[in-house]
Structure 1
């Protein structure tokens, strides 16, 4: 994660603002064996998780995977059926929400429509042990932090969706929580504004040093925002890691398929030698060299996975080990790249992404409809999955 940006003199820097804690330091948040049942339904199942101080940590998964329930247990809105939750060394499991060093920013933002931006931000401070002057200064600092000082006297309907999102963020940060919980914080924004606001969130988090925990179903959002993320499914955490680790080295078919686009092929282990495995892939009509994973044995059934952007297309057969013939069945132009659907002799369709590095007209496409082509990929790009 980049070093925190220096705060402007008129922006409050929260106590404890610091670079991301080293991995060897004790976890700032520790979730131990947490399970949550609603009657016979298990929403969260035996979750163990450690989050470091100063992280932006994302809980990523589809609807009903348990990520929001886990967030609500951190906030104190739900009680675990089993397990314990610790924040900064203190057991929070039985504490009510108002006694936890936590604040939550809701998906709907929940702004008061009859109040100005300034009064919305000040609302959470009215029960704090502060003088009126101190509250006013805190609100002023928060509005400066989210770059909304000039909009302080407007009401929510008089500002844009992105600005309302920042008002909600300022209100949540005004109490200087140790942990800020964000439930789908950018879901209401359009794509371009969402992308812009992601970087604003990162900059604000760096300035404050507050630990952010984000719940999202958006893979790109989680990968952009997070220092680390956890992929959840059916109440369980399937994998934890940086965006690079989870994308490049998924530990299961579920994670590989949930994060980004990917091609899956049933395969059988032919042999292994050192760090290299050879697997027979009937759909590709040959043997593929791949980076070996522990515990492989000849004859073992396994899954080969290759991401579309890792595959190269050419009209001439390349010299690489993993090279196979196919025919362009269809293609789609997306501006920055093109998606090719390649029909293999086996009948399988393979997806391939090709970056459009030149403007249309400067050079012809790599291939066109019904062209015979060769596709190839590096052994390091071939992912082997047991699960």
Structure 2
């Protein structure tokens, strides 16, 4: 039976990390350019772990070092306690699934899946059984005799996955595995990937620039920037409790304001926010009165109303709005000129929007919704 992950909202997805894959102080330089800088990570057996970041952040270089295609300039990589220094790619218990899928166009689905088994110590019957098992796993048995051009993009992705898993690696590396798929197919395939990984229990390390993909797939995420890991945690931890301004702004939408701590009491922090022209309260954080901080607010945490509500509230004018069906996005200009984004969920069918262009509205938020960061 496949294991079941705790709900992301439970905050329990960050479980104790068994030392299956260890990355210890790894750096990689190409001439004067340092692509990866002193990265240390541990990945648990059976975990889906994502390396998330923008182009040039070092995530793919780190993945290539795990695969053995690049050697670290410093540090070491261990898989089940074995140092991978000097171990060639074909001798590692690792397989890499490339973004392009790299399928052979002249071969059938069945032949593509079985290609990597040619040099395995298996009999012809065992190879056939393994291929049949992989076809069943990815639900492509009816497509076994087709060529790659005769199947859909999502099916080609599953062929590449089946070929990668056929050699029974202990660690599967996936480089932007869903980038070639359209949005709806990508969303569907994310859950297929998770179900397959649940069944086989192989450890996945996924490289992606897509925040939603990382949040959906992952047990834990490492957010990278300029070759360094900025934060490691569950999707809930990364989104709700970012450790710095980069992570807060990279994951999801957010609006940030300069602020100063004016008071601290048990459970409460009081901030003066110049852009608001007033004070607001948040949950207590480790900052003393006088500290310069950043107040960050997610659009979905803000409530729009025509009348002033109690608690944290600031007035503004609707500058722009966009209707997305399930929700609407409002861009609201405050008296200070600051621009704030807010989402409103369209819960009832055909109900008028909360506000229209040029309406004066109030934005309010619960103290627990505010993110307070240093400087």
CA-CA distance at 1:26 after TM superposition: 3.1
Is 1:297 the counterpart of 2:265 in the alignment? no
Count of residues paired in the alignment: 368
Counterpart CA distance in 1 for 2:50 and 2:242 is 16
Distance 1:344 1:386 in 2: 24
**CA displacement 1:143-168 (0-9 Å, x = unmatched):** 10000000000000000000000000
Match of residue 96 from structure 2: 104
C-alpha contact (below 8 Å) 2:18/2:45 kept by paired residues: no
Structure 2 residue 371 is matched with structure 1 residue 383: yes
Partner residue, 1:167: 159
1:70-113 deviations in whole A, cap 9, x for unaligned? 00000000000000101112111221111110000000000000
Q: Distance in 2 between matches of 1:83 and 1:228?
A: 22
Q: Which residue number corresponds to residue 61 of structure 2?
A: 69
In structure 2, distance between residues paired with 1:357 and 1:23: 35
Please list the CA deviations of residues 41-85 of structure 1 after superposition, one character each: whole Å capped at 9, or x if unmatched.
Answer: 000000000000111100000000000000000000000000010
Question: CA separation in 2, counterparts of 1:300 and 1:28?
Answer: 41
Matched, 1:226 2:218: yes
Q: Give the structure 2 partner of residue 349 of structure 1.
A: 339
The CA deviation at 1:275 is 2.4
Tell me the secondary structure at the aligned position of residue 117 of structure 2: coil
Instruction: Give ranges in structure 1 of 5+ residues lacking alignment.
Output: 6-19
Distance 2:237 2:153 in 1: 33
The 2-side partners of 1:194 and 1:365 are apart by 30
Partner of 1:54: 46
Deviation of the 1:193 alpha carbon? 0.2
How high is the TM-score relative to the length of structure 1?
A: 0.93
Query: 1:251 pairs with 234, 243, 255, which one?
Result: 243
Could you tell which deviates more after superposition, 202-211 or 83-92? 83-92
* Other structure's SS at 2:275 match: helix
| Structure 1 position 330 matched with structure 2 position 296 | no
Match of 2:204 among 212, 231, 244: 212
Q: Of the candidates 241, 262, 271, which is equivalent to residue 254 of structure 2? A: 262
Matches within 5 A, 1:1-387: 3-4=3-4, 23-24=15-16, 26-294=18-286, 296-319=287-310, 321-360=311-350, 363-386=351-374
SS in 2 for 1:221: helix
2:363 aligned counterpart, secondary structure: strand
Q: What is the deviation of 1:24?
A: 4.3
Q: CA RMSD in A?
A: 1.5
Q: 1:21 to 1:64 in 2, by over 3 A?
A: closer
Task: Provide, for residues 230-260 of structure 1, a one-character-per-residue CA deviation record: whole Å limited to 9, x for no partner.
Answer: 0000000000000000000000100000000
Secondary structure of 1:283's match?
coil
Distance in 1 (CA, whole Å) between partners of 2:13 and 2:373 is: 32
Distance 1:214 1:25, change over 3 A: closer
Q: 1:339 to 1:141 in 2, by over 3 A?
A: same
Question: 3-state SS of the aligned residue for 1:141?
Answer: helix
**Which digits, 9 at most, give the CA deviation of each residue in 1:265-292, with x for residues without a partner?**
0111111112211110010121111122
The alpha carbon displacement at 1:326 in A equals 1.1
Give me the whole-angstrom Cα distance separating, in 2, the residues matched to 1:174 and 1:4. Answer: 24
Could you tell me which runs of 5 or more consecutive residues in structure 2 were left unpaired when the two chains were aligned. 6-11
Shift of 1:23: 4.0
Q: CA deviation at 1:301?
A: 1.0
- Matching residue of 2:9: none
**Partner-residue secondary structure (3-state), 2:103:** coil
Q: Given the superposition, is the C-alpha separation of residues 21 and 196 from structure 1 closer, same or farther in structure 2, using an over 3 Å criterion?
A: closer
Whether the aligned pair in 1 keeps the contact of 2:14 and 2:219 (CA below 8 Å) is no
Instruction: Find runs of 4+ consecutive structure 1 residues off by over 6 angstroms.
Output: none
d(CA) in 2 for partners of 1:21, 1:293:
24
TM-superposed deviation, 1:371: 1.0
Shift of 1:25: 5.8
Q: Secondary structure at the match of 1:65?
A: coil
